[in-house]
Amino acid sequence: MDLSRVLEKQKKYEETKGDIPEATMTSLEKSFEVEYTHNSTAIEGNTLSLMETKVVLEDGIAIGGKSLREIYEVVNHKKAYRYAKECIQKGIELGETIVKDIHALLMENILIGGIYRREEVFISGASHTPPAGNELYAQIKNFYYELAQKKDLNGIELAAWTHAEFVRIHPFLDGNGRTSRLLANYQLMDNGFLPVSIAKEDRLAYYQALDRYAAHGELEDFLSMIADLEEKQLDKYLERESGNNRGGKGK
């Protein structure tokens, strides 16, 4: 993993993103929103296809044969993602209020969100058992404390740690995965990076990397995954910017 290469690309993106036509930027962002919503909900078992997710989000059409919960999951994810972007535009740093708000939006019409669990939970196939009771409250309190202290990390490191640590604690009964992926993207966007989407096809590698962190405190594999995804996103935008410049020179 070469973080310095990704950081250089991010710097170039910041310097040149104004050269990408507004219509192109809007199209890229819209396409990402659908893809991200599809992947993040599909990882948790939602059966809507990418096209079905697009139809629900962009056309407001319900899909026959799908449960109301699955429809709410994709609609809610879009709301929560847009809320996160609005908070970033207002210059609000990630903290407990935003975390609870994001979870509440994700759980709208499904269950009452934004409330930490009181029950014990066990994650199938994982080698780590999330904390419960007083230990859960102590660890989530420490999570927010550490979150405010990690000013020396770059956006990719901060996103990887925030996601991995939050999902290790697993503070909510449901929706921890979707919440943690939104928190990672919050950190990326708040630090000048592009949001990323973990493909549902990469679910196993994703879970394994998170499990290594939860069980052994090893963040390297997950950090590499986030860095690779970020680099691919940056390349996609830099290619558009480069193509636009070539087109301009040819006029």
| DSSP 8-state assignment for residue 51 | H
Q: Is 216 a catalytic residue?
A: no
Query: Rounded distance, CA 132 to CA 46, Å?
Result: 27
Query: Rounded distance, CA 46 to CA 44, Å?
Result: 6
Closest C-alpha among 198, 205, 158, 199 to residue 181: 198
Query: Rounded distance, CA 210 to CA 219, Å?
Result: 8
| CB-CB contact of 230 with 196 (8 Å) | yes
* Residue from 77, 103, 163, 170 carrying the catalytic annotation: 170
Residues whose CB is less than 8 angstroms from the CB of residue 222 and which lie 6 or more positions away in sequence, other chains included:
160, 163, 164, 209, 210, 212, 213
Active site residues: 170
